[in-house]
Amino acid sequence: MVDRLIGHQESLPDGQGGLTLADLWPTEHVIAAVVGLNPAPKSVEAGHYYQGPAGRRQLLRLAEVGLFDPADAPFLDDAAVQCGIAFTDIVKVPSLGEKQVKAERIREGLPLLEASLAARKVPLVIGVFRHPVQALLGLRKSKPGLQEKTTSWGARVFRMPGPYAKADEAKRVLSELDKVLREVTI
C-alpha cells in the first residue's frame, strides 16, 4: 500500500494492485492527445509521463515544434497540459517494454481509450511511439508522420519519428506536425 501518491500517480483499477499514471486532461479545449502504449515503471515512480531518456527526448521534440513551452512547469507533461495537450495510455499497467504488454490488454483498453478521446472531441492524436498509432487505426505497420487514415471519430493521427532517428529525418517528419498543428489550432 502506498502512503502518499506523487505527481499524477493513481492506483490501478479493479484490485490489480500497484500504481499507474492518471490520464491528464486540460481544463480548457484539448488541442491534441499524446497517447502511449502503457506507462514505464520509471515514469510511474516519478508520477509524470515520459521520464525515461527516449520519452523525454520525444516530448522535447514536441516542445521544439511549439506545442508547449517546457519552461512553463517543472515537468514536461504539466507544461504541455497547460497548453491544451492531454496524456493517456491504451494499457494502464506499467511495464519495462512493449513485449510485456499482452495483446489481450490492448484489446481491452482500446475501446475505453477511443471512447474517452471521442467524448472530448480530440482533433489530433500524437503517438510518441508506433504502437498506439497502429492500434487506434487498426494497422499492422505505420510510418512516422501524419497518417492517411483518421480515427473512428475523425481525428488526425501523427506518429512521431523514433527517438533515435537521424536529425534530418526527425526534422522532416516534425515539419508535418507543425503544419497539422496550425490546422487544428486555427
**Which CATH fold would you assign to the domain 9-185?**
Uracil-DNA Glycosylase, subunit E (3.40.470)
pLDDT (0 to 100) of residue 2: 59
The ranges assigned to domains in the chain are 9-185
- In DSSP notation, 36-74 reads ESS--HHHHHHTSS--SHHHHHHHHHHHHTTS--GGGSS
CA–CA separation, 139 and 120 (whole Å) = 23
pLDDT (0 to 100) of residue 5: 92
According to DSSP, residue 24 is labeled B
Q: Are 113 and 59 in contact (CB under 8 A)?
A: no
Nearest to 107 by CA among 130, 152, 138, 129: 138
Helix (H) or strand (E) holding 89: strand 85-89
The residue to which cell 498543428 is assigned: 181
Q: What is the model's pTM?
A: 0.94
CA–CA separation, 87 and 69 (whole Å) = 16
Indicate if the alpha-carbon torsion angle 56, 154, 123, 168 is positive or negative.
positive
Low pLDDT (below 70) residues in the chain: 1-3, 15, 186
Helix (H) or strand (E) holding 145: strand 145-146
**Residue 140: all three cell numbers together:** 499492422
92 vs 39, 164, 180, CA distance in Å?
7, 25, 28
CA–CA separation, 38 and 59 (whole Å) = 16
- The pLDDT tens digits of the residues spanning 97-146 come to 777 788 888 899 999 999 999 999 999 999 999 999 999 999 999 999 99
